[in-house]
Structure 1
């Protein structure tokens, strides 16, 4: 094997390892977020939720100041976090009022909050 082929092989091998690591880390983070969510309680402040859950997903178009999303269900392994892979947490007046897709759908689509 010449040096060029060896270099290409090494780069491909390294990228494969990095990709697998990203998938594992995403899965691990999702499982950890789901585990932490068992400690959530209605009426917690945003600071209390942050202390338990850490920072929510924030760079997606579906994010809102009073609706936070946490990655809990890796479906695609495409390095993107989509809304269907997340658990929504809903706040009113700075307090947690509910979480999960069922609560979110009732709150968001069944109220004046949907625009």
Structure 2
């Protein structure tokens, strides 16, 4: 009788050894990634909403960190720097694009504007 129980338990163990039970959201890995960019966007929006015209480039970089994109050029002796920070979601492609960012425009190291209008006026 013990022999039958042992064989039954062994057969059950072998049959179930390859089974995996998934509990919860199928997109758990994606959710943690989504959570990361959502937190970044939220933080960037909070910081940008507190900026003031005239803030210095170094101060803003200190608050927001490394931009997602940046551009710079010199024209007629004036240096222009544009930093792009992710602030909204447009595409579910796993990549950040410029159209998902808010541009911050600095002239000679001073914040002169932000948003599409400020960027288009360059």
* Normalised TM-score (structure 1): 0.72
How far did 1:51 drift? 2.3
Name the CA distance, whole Å, in 1 between partners of 2:98 and 2:88. Answer: 10
Aligned Cα RMSD in Å? 2.3
Where does the alignment leave 5 or more consecutive residues of structure 2 unmatched? 1-14, 73-80
Q: Report which of the two has the higher share of helix.
A: 1
Aligned residue in 1 for 2:98: 83
Say if 1:23 and 1:77, in contact at 8 Å, map to a contact too: no
Relative to 1, partners in 2 of residues 1:57 and 1:15: Cα closer, same or farther, differing over 3 Å?
A: farther
Q: Is the strand fraction higher in 1 or 2?
A: 2
Distance 2:39 2:68 in 1: 15
Specify the structure having the higher radius of gyration (Cα).
2
The equivalent of 2:30 in structure 1 is 19
Q: Stretches of 4+ moved more than 4 A in 1?
A: 1-5
Q: Is the 8 A contact 1:46 1:95 kept in 2?
A: yes
> Offset at 1:3?
4.7
Using the size of structure 2 for normalisation, the TM-score is 0.68
Aligned residue number for residue 71 of structure 2: 64
Name structure 1 gaps, 5 residues minimum.
Answer: 108-115
Offset at residue 14 of structure 1 (A): 9.4
Equivalent pair of 1:26/1:74 in contact (CA under 8 Å): no
User: What is the match of residue 49 of structure 1?
Assistant: 60
Higher relative contact order (CA 8 A, sep 6+): 1
User: Distance between the aligned counterparts of 1:39 and 1:51, measured in 2?
Assistant: 14
Deviation by residue 1:61-98 (Cα, 9 ceiling, x = unmatched) = xx313110000001223221111100000111111111
Deviation at residue 36 of structure 1 after TM alignment: 0.8
